[in-house]
Amino acid sequence: MRFGIIILAFSAISTSTSNAFVTPITRATRLISASTALNDVTTDESAEAIETESKDTTVTEVPLPDVADHVAPAISKHISPDRIEKATKPRPYPLFLAEKTASVFDFSPASAKEKPRVKAKERLVVLGTGWGAAAFLKDIDTDKYDVTVISPRNHFVFTPMLAGASVGTVEYRSITRPIREINKKARYLEAAATDIDPKTNTISCISIVCEGNSCETGEFEVNYDRLLFAVGAQTTTFGTPGVEEYCNYLKQVGDAQLIKNAIVNCFEQAGLPDISDEKKEKELTFAIVGAGPT
């Protein structure tokens, strides 16, 4: 049984090899006819009878026009006649495989493909690092805008807690957050804006550069397409006499540090042994101007 199957398979291969330049449909038809002949072999026949029958076996081909007559009208509705003719024309089987491979894989060089153009980002400049600027930087889409922050202060301050920081209730670092952490894709410039030219979309800035104990000022300009002005406002005195000359403001971390150091100095002065009661009372008396959150 095994010997007869080997001979028939060899016969089918020999027949198909002799006609290598055939269409894929004709080749598939011949393979189906060979497999049908193998199914007709019975186990009761001898090896010699199987060999004789395999030699006399003829391969019949199903004519292509009969199949095309039924299939072509339906296919022609969706596929152009040129593509049908190209797919069914006689050609060597290796060429057929090469054409199918080329249709699946793209062998064109990468340099020949057009690269998508990347739209330039709009230059967005933010002046200030207060509440408004921090909230804006937290939600701005840096994929659409090239963000630059300009401010003399490189951190955001939670101002309601400055009063607690000035008396030692909280640490300074617990009420501040670096601007670079709020938006890591934004560029920060430690400088102060001195002038804005809306005609040329240019901002004039001044920075302080220190090396050792010596400091120098430097000037530069920054161009912008969009500008966010969020520098805040100055503390108002409401016209109270003597406030600007003798009072400490509480708006920055540096202000809280000055107040804390002044309070500590007052307590230390009041604790000296040679101080009078009148001077001690003066050192321990504090006046607060204003009734805001700080």
Q: Note the pLDDT tens digit of each residue in 142-172.
A: 999 999 999 999 999 999 899 899 888 999 9
Furthest-apart CA atoms within the chain: distance in Å: 138
Q: Note the pLDDT tens digit of each residue in 261-284.
A: 999 999 999 999 988 999 999 999
What's the pLDDT band for 94 if we cut at 50, 70, 90? low
What's the pLDDT band for 213 if we cut at 50, 70, 90? confident
Q: Is 58 a residue whose pLDDT tops 60?
A: no
Task: Name the CA radius of gyration of the chain, rounded.
Answer: 45
Over residues 74-100, the mean pLDDT reads 65
Q: What is the mean pLDDT of the chain?
A: 75
**pLDDT value at position 91?**
62
**Per-range mean pLDDT, top range of 73-77, 111-115, 168-172:** 168-172
Q: pTM, whole model, 2 decimals? A: 0.57
What's the pLDDT band for 10 if we cut at 50, 70, 90? very low
The answer to whether residues 126 and 156 touch, using CB atoms and an 8 Å cutoff, is no
The H or E element spanning position 204 is: strand 202-211
**Per-range mean pLDDT, top range of 40-44, 94-98, 100-104, 228-232:** 228-232
Of the two residues 127 and 232, the one the predictor is more confident about is 127
Cβ-in-10-Å burial (0-12, 13-18, 19+) of 287 comes to: exposed
Can you tell me the distance from the alpha carbon of 146 to that of 139, in angstroms, rounded to the nearest whole number?
14
**pLDDT value at position 258?**
92
**pLDDT value at position 89?**
67
